[in-house]
Amino acid sequence: MATAIELAQRGVPSVVLEQRGATGTREPLFNVAPPFADRLAALDPEGSLTKLLVPVDRIEVVDERTGRVGAREFEGALAPDAARSRGDMGSLVDALDAHVGSAAADRRRWAMVGIGDLENGLRELARTKHADLIDLRPDSGVGSIRQGDGWAEAVLTPAADGAARDAVRGVMLVDASGRDLAGGPRTTWPERSFWLGARLPARTDGSRAIRRTRDIEPTTGAPRLTVELPSADRTLLWTQVPRDPTTVSADAAGALIAERAAAVGAPTPAAGARTMPVTVQLWTSDQPAVGRVLKVGDSVRGPYFMTSSGAATALVHDAPRAVDAITAVLDGAPLEATVGAYADAVRGANARLVDLVRPRLLDDLGVPRGEEQPGEKGPGPGRLRT
């Protein structure tokens, strides 16, 4: 959606194929680092997207193993700047917490936004302001993509009634499926971590602090992180679990979330609250673009969500760079060099991101840095080619 909206801002038409329905329903929250907010401000200068942002007071880190409590306080009001951060991975790195001590750190206030609310805001923007240039088609799943001389196309899966549907052809194709429909080689890091999440009621005390609590998981003795994300109408709680959470029964998952919520002082989940299992493993695409197909977002990387960088990178880095590449090709720039430069930029962004997020992942797993990890016998240090 972000790529389509930016293309429309430059007068370039697109068709957006979305396999799910017309209304986004995802309940989790995004942590919105300031450059992410900058891009929302630029996508709608009239503020329909930034008005969805709920400012965060501070980020608190509680270590129950040592009793240490730290807090990152933010400066000033929420200050999205439409003129900042576009296509700039460095701006995002400077805003994420690993760089808080550096001179370049971006200390602007963070915010929260509901994932479904943001999806619906982007769709509404497309419908109301760019209806002439964005053809938004929900319930349109793409089964495969193919390309030929001067074109690329998305081949749709059959409709619900089994009827075959046409392919959609264009000059360029953006794979924003999060599934890397074009495929190709990738690099996968061996570490995995497992999480359970749930939507809880909003805090009634008005506090809007992100709280990260570290303790020890009792059955394994491994470090465990529990994160509380606050918003106006809900709280999201994520807690690390020792094994694949899809193998945990709904009752056991609900009981674990209720226990963790009580332990960290988060609101009590409603009876029967649905839990969300997540497995995290870092990977990056070795081939972020091929021919006339540009991949963006989770189609070029497996995000480590605890660092709030996945959607942020898609919006700050990939979408603007893809727009630049597409408009350059439409203006007559050579295809191969333009697409190659896009792929290089994404590889560079991914390298910076992995440098930033992998230490955090190892911390969360309780794996000392610098130690060889199980499975680190791939072609590069700590990597497996797949």
Ligand X SMILES: Cc1cc2nc3c(=O)[nH]c(=O)nc-3n(C[C@H](O)[C@H](O)[C@H](O)COP(=O)(O)OP(=O)(O)OC[C@H]3O[C@@H](n4cnc5c(N)ncnc54)[C@H](O)[C@@H]3O)c2cc1C
Name the residues that contact ligand X, by CB under 6 A. Answer: 17-20, 28, 30-31, 141-142, 176-179, 197, 278, 297-298, 303, 305, 308-312, 314
3-state secondary structure of 108: strand
Q: Kindly state the smallest distance separating residue 66's Cβ from ligand X, in Å.
A: 26
Residues with Cβ < 8 Å from 151, sequence gap 6 or more? 169, 170, 171, 292
Q: Kindly state the smallest distance separating residue 365's Cβ from ligand X, in Å.
A: 17
Q: Which among 80, 105, 107, 78 is positioned nearest to 93, based on CA atoms?
A: 105
Q: Kindly state the smallest distance separating residue 204's Cβ from ligand X, in Å.
A: 23
How far apart (Å, rounded) are the C-alpha atoms in residues 298 and 280? 12
Q: Kindly state the smallest distance separating residue 176's Cβ from ligand X, in Å.
A: 5
Decide: residue 308, CB within 10 A, 0-12 exposed, 13-18 middle, 19+ buried.
Answer: buried
Residues with Cβ < 8 Å from 69, sequence gap 6 or more? 60, 61, 62, 63
Question: 């002082």: which residue's tokens?
Answer: 265
53 or 380: CB nearest ligand X:
53
Q: Which among 363, 302, 359, 268 is positioned nearest to 61, based on CA atoms?
A: 363
For residue 216, what are the β-bridge partners? Answer: 223
11 or 158: CB nearest ligand X:
158
How many helices and strands, by DSSP H and E, does the chain display? 8, 20
36 or 362: CB nearest ligand X:
36
Tokens for 355? 């440098």
37 or 264: CB nearest ligand X:
37
Asked whether 288 and 342 are in contact (CB, 8 A), the reply is yes
Question: 């394994």: which residue's tokens?
Answer: 220
Q: Which among 286, 285, 314, 315 is positioned nearest to 301, based on CA atoms?
A: 285
How far apart (Å, rounded) are the C-alpha atoms in residues 232 and 270? 17
286 or 376: CB nearest ligand X:
286
87 or 378: CB nearest ligand X:
87
Q: Kindly state the smallest distance separating residue 277's Cβ from ligand X, in Å.
A: 10
Q: Kindly state the smallest distance separating residue 368's Cβ from ligand X, in Å.
A: 26
232 or 337: CB nearest ligand X:
232
Tell me which DSSP letter residue 286 carries.
S
Q: Kindly state the smallest distance separating residue 234's Cβ from ligand X, in Å.
A: 14
Q: Which residues of 88-99 are buried (b: 16+ CB within 10 A; e: fewer)?
A: bbebbbbbbbeb
Q: Kindly state the smallest distance separating residue 228's Cβ from ligand X, in Å.
A: 13
149 or 210: CB nearest ligand X:
210
Q: Which residues of 361-380 are buried (b: 16+ CB within 10 A; e: fewer)?
A: bbebbbbeeeeeeeeeeeee
Tokens for 313? 């990178």
> What is the number of residues in the chain?
386
358 or 377: CB nearest ligand X:
358
Question: 């994420």: which residue's tokens?
Answer: 96
Q: Kindly state the smallest distance separating residue 19's Cβ from ligand X, in Å.
A: 4
**Cα-flanking dihedrals φ and ψ of residue 227, to 5°?**
-120, 130
287 or 376: CB nearest ligand X:
287
Q: Kindly state the smallest distance separating residue 165's Cβ from ligand X, in Å.
A: 12
